[in-house]
Structure 1
Amino acid sequence: MILKTYARLWADDLTTALPLLERLTGKCPDLQFAFDEIELAAIGDFLVIAGPAEERARYAHATATVIVSDLDQARAALDEAGAEVTREESTSATGRFFYARHRGGVEAEYVEWKQEVRRQVLGA
């Protein structure tokens, strides 16, 4: 069910943050897009979230972004385990997502990518 997990990195400016990560990972970003008032870039196993501190704070409650093969199945598994959805399902440029807090306090964003995004990042 889980295809990829990104650690979240917080930055004031995406353009300034990316060169070091490109050097450290040996990769260019797989994805780069804007959402609300922030910019995001997925590079290696990092999701860089950049923009003004007050805008980044809106997303700081989640410790990771988890890419899943089926968002509905992930939701069912989380519900069965007693997780609490903290932000209902919505859409972005990459697909569908929601946020959930697991029993014990861990909170993560769960994302089901659109097929073209999935192919772009993970291949066939």
Structure 2
Amino acid sequence: MEILGTTLRVCVDDLEAAVGVYERLTGSRAQRFQRGGVSVAAVGAFLLMSGPEHELEVLRKVVATLAVKDVDEALGALTEVGAEIIAGPLPTPVGRNLLARHPDGSVFEYVDRGGPGPTERQPAGLSR
């Protein structure tokens, strides 16, 4: 599995104030979207999230988002090393994602830019 990039997740109280700071630090413009009740701004290598505490509590458990070429390939590699697939692969506005708990207990989101694939599982436990 090839990891193409990493996005760091940052939960913030005031998304508008944080966006300005991260835009200046990275020299990038924010791309904004909603994910359930959470407002999200992608700025450079940062994914800023703000919303209700009960939704952020779940999102804080994810260490980072890893961009991969193919989520199905990631699924195979994760299964081989004994990772627990918590959710997915599921379609998103930009491709597909899955959440996995590595054998050491760390939780990561894996995303690709592809369309929905043949492998879709229902969330089990930690959902977005």
TM range (shorter): 0.7 to 0.9
Matched AA of 2:6: T
Change (3 A) 1:114 1:97: same
Q: Is the 8 A contact 1:71 1:96 kept in 2?
A: yes
- Which consecutive residues of structure 2, in runs of 5 or more, have no partner in the other structure? 116-128
- Number of equivalenced pairs: 114
Alignment of 1:1-124 (within 5 A): 1-29=2-30, 31-114=31-114
User: Percent of counterpart pairs with the same letter?
Assistant: 38
SS in structure 2 at match of 1:103: coil
> 4+ residue stretches of structure 1 with deviation over 6 A?
none
TM-score, normalised via structure 2 length:
0.81
SS in structure 2 at match of 1:5: strand
Q: How far apart, CA to CA, are the structure 2 residues paired with 1:78 and 1:70?
A: 12
Which deviates the most, 67-76 or 44-53?
44-53
Q: How far apart, CA to CA, are the structure 1 residues paired with 2:57 and 2:92?
A: 18
SS in structure 1 at match of 2:19: helix
* Bigger fraction of residues in helix: 1
Matched AA of 2:83: A
Which deviates the most, 76-85 or 47-56?
47-56
TM-score, normalised via structure 1 length:
0.84
Q: How far apart, CA to CA, are the structure 1 residues paired with 2:93 and 2:55?
A: 18
Q: Is the 8 A contact 1:12 1:53 kept in 2?
A: no
Matched AA of 1:12: D
State the Cα distance separating 1:94 from its structure 2 match.
Answer: 1.7
Which deviates the most, 85-94 or 31-40?
85-94
State the Cα distance separating 1:114 from its structure 2 match.
Answer: 4.3
Matched AA of 2:3: I
Change (3 A) 1:74 1:90: same
Matched AA of 2:14: D
